[in-house]
Amino acid sequence: MLERLLPTGWPAVVVDLSPTQLAEAPHPKVRADARQLPLPDQSVAAVTMLWMLYHLDDPVAAIAEADRVLGPGGLFVASTSSRRNDPELTDAYDATPFDAEEAADIVATVFAHVTVERWDAPMTLLPDRESVVRYCRSHLLAPEAADRVSPPVWLTKRGCLVYGLR
């Protein structure tokens, strides 16, 4: 899907540390750490770090690495959820190193030009109880969280995309 947003002819390379994530990657792919990208300085036009910075103890290190490989005018994009995501199932998620509440400020420690696109809308339909239970399990919610809703249920997704321009 992201590839459709790129200008025609832009090559895309998937970089991930996880062999499991890379197994399904449709593009050329490289197993590497986001904090040590195997790319020369100022060699790419865009870097996306989607749904991953909250896994790092120090997301700024990965954001700075993205800045290193971006050429002049390069675009950085990161996505993350809010701690107030899925209010139908939980009152709040535990804080992570890169939540929507602080994401823009964190990216701004590296990039001078930062913009944010936020979302807060019903976006995920869970059609039946089994879907709700699977969702709770995959999001590390207590099993009783599934009892808060009666399927079918639309979950409210809250989060943001943060753009940094070099």
**Domain harbouring 116, CATH code:** 3.40.50.150
Separation between Cα atoms, residue 66 and residue 33, nearest integer Å: 11
9 inside domain: no
CB 46 within 8 A of CB 77: yes
12 inside domain: no
- 116: buried, middle or exposed (CB in 10 Å: 19+, 13-18, 0-12)? middle
DSSP 27: S
Model confidence pLDDT, tens digit, residues 50-70: 999 999 999 999 999 999 999
Whole-structure pTM value? 0.91
73 inside domain: yes
Q: What is the residue range of 47's domain?
A: 33-121+158-165
**What was the pLDDT predicted at 6?**
67
139 inside domain: no
Q: Which two tokens stand for residue 79?
A: 């996505």
Model confidence pLDDT, tens digit, residues 71-122: 999 999 999 999 999 999 999 999 999 999 999 999 999 999 999 999 999 9
102 inside domain: yes
Q: Which two tokens stand for residue 118?
A: 């936020």
18 inside domain: no
97 inside domain: yes
- Give me the residue label for tokens 């239970």: 133
Domain count within the chain? 1
DSSP 143: G
